[in-house]
Amino acid sequence: MISAVILAAGQSKRMGQPKMLLAWGAETVLAHVISVVRSAGVYDIEVVSGAVQSEVEAICGKQGARVVFNPAHDQTEMLGSLQAGLLALPAGTQAALVTLGDQPQIEAATVRKVVGEYDKSRASLIVPSYQRRRGHPWLVDRSLWKEVLELKAPDSPREFLNGHSTEIQYVDINSPSILQDLDTPDDYRRARP
Protein backbone atom coordinates (compact mmCIF):
# COMPACT_ATOMS: atom_id res chain seq x y z
CA MET A 1 0.00 0.00 0.00
CA ILE A 2 1.14 3.51 -0.81
CA SER A 3 0.07 6.31 1.52
CA ALA A 4 0.27 10.01 0.77
CA VAL A 5 1.79 12.25 3.43
CA ILE A 6 0.64 15.79 2.72
CA LEU A 7 2.75 18.37 4.54
CA ALA A 8 0.39 21.13 5.66
CA ALA A 9 1.82 22.32 8.99
CA GLY A 10 3.62 25.49 7.90
CA GLN A 11 3.00 28.92 9.34
CA SER A 12 2.72 30.69 5.96
CA LYS A 13 4.89 33.59 7.13
CA ARG A 14 5.79 34.80 3.63
CA MET A 15 2.20 34.48 2.43
CA GLY A 16 0.86 36.45 5.39
CA GLN A 17 -2.20 34.20 5.70
CA PRO A 18 -2.73 30.43 5.95
CA LYS A 19 -1.92 28.94 2.53
CA MET A 20 -3.91 25.76 3.10
CA LEU A 21 -7.11 27.80 3.46
CA LEU A 22 -6.71 29.98 0.35
CA ALA A 23 -9.32 29.58 -2.36
CA TRP A 24 -8.37 27.38 -5.30
CA GLY A 25 -11.21 27.22 -7.77
CA ALA A 26 -14.29 26.07 -5.87
CA GLU A 27 -12.27 24.60 -2.98
CA THR A 28 -9.30 25.40 -0.77
CA VAL A 29 -5.68 24.80 -1.69
CA LEU A 30 -5.47 21.84 0.70
CA ALA A 31 -8.78 20.32 -0.41
CA HIS A 32 -7.61 20.53 -4.03
CA VAL A 33 -4.31 18.77 -3.27
CA ILE A 34 -6.18 15.98 -1.46
CA SER A 35 -8.63 15.65 -4.37
CA VAL A 36 -5.86 15.40 -6.97
CA VAL A 37 -3.94 12.76 -5.00
CA ARG A 38 -7.10 10.70 -4.56
CA SER A 39 -8.08 11.07 -8.24
CA ALA A 40 -4.67 9.64 -9.14
CA GLY A 41 -5.44 6.45 -7.23
CA VAL A 42 -3.79 7.06 -3.84
CA TYR A 43 -6.61 6.58 -1.37
CA ASP A 44 -4.78 6.41 1.96
CA ILE A 45 -4.10 10.06 2.66
CA GLU A 46 -2.64 11.57 5.80
CA VAL A 47 -2.26 15.31 6.30
CA VAL A 48 0.26 16.73 8.77
CA SER A 49 -1.24 19.80 10.44
CA GLY A 50 0.30 22.52 12.53
CA ALA A 51 -0.34 26.24 12.42
CA VAL A 52 -4.07 26.14 11.59
CA GLN A 53 -4.85 22.76 13.11
CA SER A 54 -8.62 23.02 13.55
CA GLU A 55 -9.20 24.42 10.05
CA VAL A 56 -7.00 21.73 8.47
CA GLU A 57 -8.82 19.06 10.46
CA ALA A 58 -12.18 20.38 9.21
CA ILE A 59 -11.02 20.24 5.58
CA CYS A 60 -9.64 16.74 6.04
CA GLY A 61 -12.84 15.58 7.69
CA LYS A 62 -14.81 16.62 4.62
CA GLN A 63 -12.23 15.07 2.30
CA GLY A 64 -11.91 11.76 4.15
CA ALA A 65 -8.21 12.21 4.96
CA ARG A 66 -6.55 11.44 8.29
CA VAL A 67 -4.76 14.17 10.21
CA VAL A 68 -1.70 13.99 12.42
CA PHE A 69 -0.65 17.08 14.36
CA ASN A 70 3.01 18.10 14.43
CA PRO A 71 3.38 19.73 17.87
CA ALA A 72 6.80 21.12 16.90
CA HIS A 73 5.60 22.61 13.61
CA ASP A 74 6.90 26.06 14.54
CA GLN A 75 10.41 24.74 15.26
CA THR A 76 11.10 21.81 12.95
CA GLU A 77 10.08 22.97 9.49
CA MET A 78 9.44 20.35 6.81
CA LEU A 79 11.62 17.62 8.32
CA GLY A 80 9.63 17.47 11.56
CA SER A 81 6.36 17.28 9.66
CA LEU A 82 7.64 14.51 7.41
CA GLN A 83 8.82 12.57 10.46
CA ALA A 84 5.47 13.04 12.23
CA GLY A 85 3.69 11.86 9.09
CA LEU A 86 5.83 8.75 8.64
CA LEU A 87 5.44 7.75 12.29
CA ALA A 88 1.65 7.87 12.02
CA LEU A 89 1.27 5.79 8.83
CA PRO A 90 -0.45 2.39 9.01
CA ALA A 91 1.74 -0.68 9.53
CA GLY A 92 0.77 -1.97 6.08
CA THR A 93 2.11 1.05 4.21
CA GLN A 94 4.99 0.07 1.92
CA ALA A 95 5.89 3.55 0.66
CA ALA A 96 5.04 7.19 1.37
CA LEU A 97 4.22 9.72 -1.32
CA VAL A 98 5.64 12.97 0.09
CA THR A 99 3.35 15.75 -1.07
CA LEU A 100 3.32 19.50 -0.41
CA GLY A 101 0.08 20.93 0.91
CA ASP A 102 0.89 24.26 -0.72
CA GLN A 103 1.32 22.79 -4.20
CA PRO A 104 -2.16 22.96 -5.75
CA GLN A 105 -0.48 22.87 -9.16
CA ILE A 106 0.02 19.13 -8.57
CA GLU A 107 -1.20 17.02 -11.48
CA ALA A 108 -2.85 13.62 -11.22
CA ALA A 109 -0.74 12.41 -14.16
CA THR A 110 2.44 13.16 -12.20
CA VAL A 111 1.19 11.25 -9.16
CA ARG A 112 0.25 8.30 -11.37
CA LYS A 113 3.71 8.27 -13.01
CA VAL A 114 5.55 8.33 -9.67
CA VAL A 115 3.33 5.61 -8.18
CA GLY A 116 3.46 3.60 -11.41
CA GLU A 117 7.25 3.66 -11.38
CA TYR A 118 7.26 2.33 -7.83
CA ASP A 119 4.83 -0.43 -8.76
CA LYS A 120 7.07 -1.38 -11.67
CA SER A 121 10.58 -1.01 -10.23
CA ARG A 122 10.16 -1.10 -6.42
CA ALA A 123 12.99 1.46 -6.28
CA SER A 124 13.47 2.86 -2.78
CA LEU A 125 13.24 6.48 -3.98
CA ILE A 126 11.18 7.78 -6.89
CA VAL A 127 11.51 11.48 -7.70
CA PRO A 128 9.85 13.47 -10.49
CA SER A 129 12.18 15.58 -12.59
CA TYR A 130 11.52 18.52 -14.89
CA GLN A 131 14.49 19.64 -16.99
CA ARG A 132 16.82 17.84 -14.58
CA ARG A 133 15.37 19.53 -11.49
CA ARG A 134 13.82 17.50 -8.68
CA GLY A 135 10.29 18.24 -7.59
CA HIS A 136 7.26 16.97 -5.65
CA PRO A 137 5.63 14.65 -4.94
CA TRP A 138 8.38 12.11 -4.37
CA LEU A 139 8.08 8.61 -3.01
CA VAL A 140 10.15 6.88 -0.32
CA ASP A 141 10.01 3.16 0.42
CA ARG A 142 9.56 2.01 4.02
CA SER A 143 13.11 0.59 3.98
CA LEU A 144 14.45 4.17 4.18
CA TRP A 145 12.02 5.59 6.75
CA LYS A 146 14.29 4.80 9.70
CA GLU A 147 16.97 6.99 8.19
CA VAL A 148 14.52 9.85 7.64
CA LEU A 149 13.28 9.49 11.22
CA GLU A 150 16.83 9.71 12.56
CA LEU A 151 17.64 13.00 10.81
CA LYS A 152 18.11 16.02 13.06
CA ALA A 153 17.84 19.71 12.24
CA PRO A 154 19.38 21.49 10.44
CA ASP A 155 19.17 18.48 8.08
CA SER A 156 16.21 18.49 5.73
CA PRO A 157 14.57 16.16 3.25
CA ARG A 158 16.83 17.75 0.62
CA GLU A 159 19.95 16.48 2.42
CA PHE A 160 18.36 13.06 2.70
CA LEU A 161 17.74 12.97 -1.06
CA ASN A 162 21.24 14.26 -1.78
CA GLY A 163 22.66 11.49 0.38
CA HIS A 164 20.81 8.92 -1.71
CA SER A 165 21.33 10.53 -5.11
CA THR A 166 22.70 7.34 -6.67
CA GLU A 167 19.61 5.36 -5.59
CA ILE A 168 17.00 7.76 -6.94
CA GLN A 169 14.85 6.53 -9.80
CA TYR A 170 13.86 9.67 -11.68
CA VAL A 171 10.60 10.03 -13.57
CA ASP A 172 10.68 12.65 -16.29
CA ILE A 173 7.69 14.99 -16.15
CA ASN A 174 6.92 17.39 -18.99
CA SER A 175 5.48 20.06 -16.72
CA PRO A 176 7.05 22.63 -14.40
CA SER A 177 4.19 22.00 -11.96
CA ILE A 178 6.42 19.67 -9.91
CA LEU A 179 8.61 22.68 -9.07
CA GLN A 180 5.83 25.12 -8.23
CA ASP A 181 4.26 25.88 -4.89
CA LEU A 182 2.75 28.88 -3.15
CA ASP A 183 5.07 30.89 -0.92
CA THR A 184 4.15 34.54 -1.45
CA PRO A 185 1.06 36.58 -2.39
CA ASP A 186 2.62 37.10 -5.85
CA ASP A 187 2.95 33.31 -6.31
CA TYR A 188 -0.71 32.93 -5.44
CA ARG A 189 -1.88 35.74 -7.76
CA ARG A 190 0.08 34.30 -10.68
CA ALA A 191 -1.04 30.70 -10.16
CA ARG A 192 -4.62 31.00 -8.94
CA PRO A 193 -7.17 29.49 -11.34
CATH fold of 2-191:
Spore Coat Polysaccharide Biosynthesis Protein SpsA; Chain A (3.90.550)
Span 70-118, pLDDT tens digits: 988 877 778 999 999 999 999 999 999 999 999 999 999 999 999 999 9
pLDDT tens, the chain, 193 aa long: 999 999 999 888 889 888 999 999 999 999 999 999 999 999 999 999 998 999 999 999 999 999 999 988 877 778 999 999 999 999 999 999 999 999 999 999 999 999 999 999 999 999 999 998 999 999 999 999 999 999 988 888 999 999 999 999 999 999 999 999 999 999 999 999 8
Inter-residue contact 35 to 63 (CB < 8 Å) = yes
Q: How far apart are CA 1 and CA 51, in angstroms?
A: 29
pTM (whole model) above 0.75: yes
